[in-house]
A = this chain, B = another copy of it.
Amino acid sequence: MQFKFIDGGICAVKGVSAWGVKQDKYGLALIKANGSAAGVFTRNRVIAAPLVLTREHLEGGRLSAVIANSGNANAFTGPEGMEDARAMAKLAARGPGLDERTVAVASTGVIGHRLDLNIISSQVGAVTAGLTGSANGSTAAARAIMTTDTFSKEVAVELPNGTRIGGIAKGSGMIAPNMGTMLAFLYTDTAMDPGELGKYLKRAVDKSFNMVVVDGDTSTNDMVLITATGQMGHTDPEEFGQGLEAVCTALARMIAKDGEGATCLIEARVTGAANESDAVLAAKAVITSPLVKSAIFGHDPNWGRVVAAVGYSGAEMEPDCISLMFANNYASASLVEKGKIVSTPEDTLKEIMGSKEVIIMVDLGVGSGCATAWGCDLSYDYVRINAEYTT
């Protein structure tokens, strides 16, 4: 199955209109699209009010819109937080005349402070008036939800039969003042019931967003939503699943690349694991290790740290079976082959370690499980961004 990447982000999908505004750190995005819907939510035990409300609204299996603000996460805000989330849904529903119980609400920003509904009220007119199905609608919405992200994140693919899948996202890098949030809003014009949509969403999220580690912290506000407008009729579900995974993976890579202070995207590809869950453990351990991350920042091909991370990951491994390569998109250099250290051309290695995308390939040599995870290097700027803010 072939699919192509196209422009337009979420607005490439039939039935989707969007807009967004931003004033200082306070942004508001509105996305209007009627269809069956499903969501995946944070696994943090502290769950922000908008997520509680959105899960409730998703019980009906349909969404008509998503409203998302940046600047305040509406988390750890008690019963008042729930009232404020409901008020946001009502504000979003009013202009376009939607049922507020089909509006999803998302928030990102400071936690433990009550939402300022005055700001949102003052912005909602502009986003409602701005709603457009053209590509700049997608970009405006993607920009409105940015916090410490340095670039907006949107992508779309078209399947052979013309079905489209698009998404926007914001980064999981941890965000001043309190914490970051991974938000992704996905759209497709295929027709699919909410249960099946949820199944494919879960599968795609597990292979993409759940394989991104910027700093290992899980936010109270993480949320991925998908709405299927159905305007292109039915699609082969497996083709749809592959397209959705491609969209999610592209957004996940952007999030990793834009981790706070990142100078380099790191991709950890683990093969030869005893099973897939072992491969996931090993790939995540490599991508999470502060030692590996700071080595990559220093352009240091420090394979010892990679081996050590795999060693404590919990994955089954034998030091004598492990092989390890560093690579970029053009070249690769082998450093360990079945437990033996091999010498590798200095020039190639130097070129690879200087790349903006470094691929760490680990073959555990004990089975056929594989997994890929994405992260970024650990730089001075990460520390600066997260230390300098004072609450």
Tell me which of A231-239, A247-255, A297-305 binds B.
A297-305
Verify if A46 is at the interface (C-beta below 8 Å from B).
yes
Q: Write out the residue numbers on chain B whose beta carbons fall within 8 Å of the beta carbon of A317.
A: 45-46
Task: Please tell me how many copies of the chain the complex holds.
Answer: 2
A386 contacts B178, CB within 8 Å? no
Verify if A165 is at the interface (C-beta below 8 Å from B).
no
Shortest distance in angstroms between A311's beta carbon and chain B's nearest beta carbon?
Answer: 4
Residue of B nearest to A387 (CB): B298
Q: Write out the residue numbers on chain B whose beta carbons fall within 8 Å of the beta carbon of A315.
A: 45
- A76/B217 contact (C-beta < 8 A), A43-B312, A174-B291, A317-B45 known: no
Verify if A330 is at the interface (C-beta below 8 Å from B).
no
B302 contacts A382, CB within 8 Å? no
Verify if A151 is at the interface (C-beta below 8 Å from B).
no
Verify if A119 is at the interface (C-beta below 8 Å from B).
no
| CB-contacts of A225-268 with B (<8 A) | none
B312 contacts A390, CB within 8 Å? no
| CB-contacts of A335-351 with B (<8 A) | 339-341
Shortest distance in angstroms between A216's beta carbon and chain B's nearest beta carbon?
Answer: 7
Verify if A132 is at the interface (C-beta below 8 Å from B).
no
For chain A, the count of residues having a C-beta within 8 Å of the partner chain is 61
**Alpha-carbon gap, A217 to B378, bound state (A):** 14
B46 contacts A307, CB within 8 Å? yes
B174 contacts A390, CB within 8 Å? no
A383 contacts B378, CB within 8 Å? yes
Q: Write out the residue numbers on chain B whose beta carbons fall within 8 Å of the beta carbon of A45.
A: 310-312, 315-317, 319
B290 contacts A44, CB within 8 Å? no
Shortest distance in angstroms between A174's beta carbon and chain B's nearest beta carbon?
Answer: 5
Q: Write out the residue numbers on chain B whose beta carbons fall within 8 Å of the beta carbon of A391.
A: 300-302, 304
B308 contacts A112, CB within 8 Å? no
Verify if A362 is at the interface (C-beta below 8 Å from B).
no
Q: Which of B308, B311, B339 contacts A78 (CB 8 A)?
A: B339
B178 contacts A305, CB within 8 Å? yes
| CB-contacts of A260-301 with B (<8 A) | 288-291, 294-295, 297-301
Q: Write out the residue numbers on chain B whose beta carbons fall within 8 Å of the beta carbon of A297.
A: 383, 387
Q: Write out the residue numbers on chain B whose beta carbons fall within 8 Å of the beta carbon of A25.
A: none
Q: Write out the residue numbers on chain B whose beta carbons fall within 8 Å of the beta carbon of A203.
A: none
B216 contacts A382, CB within 8 Å? no
Which of A217, A290, A308, A320 gathers the greatest number of chain B CB atoms within 10 Å? A308
- A46/B308 contact (C-beta < 8 A), A294-B383, A295-B386 known: yes
Q: Which of B215, B289, B319 contacts A291 (CB 8 A)?
A: B215
**Alpha-carbon gap, A155 to B310, bound state (A):** 34
A selection of 24 A-B contacts at a CB cut-off of 8 Å is: A43-B312, A45-B310, A45-B315, A45-B319, A46-B308, A76-B341, A78-B339, A111-B307, A112-B304, A178-B304, A179-B305, A216-B289, A217-B290, A218-B308, A290-B290, A290-B386, A298-B387, A298-B389, A298-B390, A300-B387, A379-B387, A380-B380, A380-B384, A383-B383
Closest 3 CB pairs of A and B: A298-B387, A294-B386, A46-B311
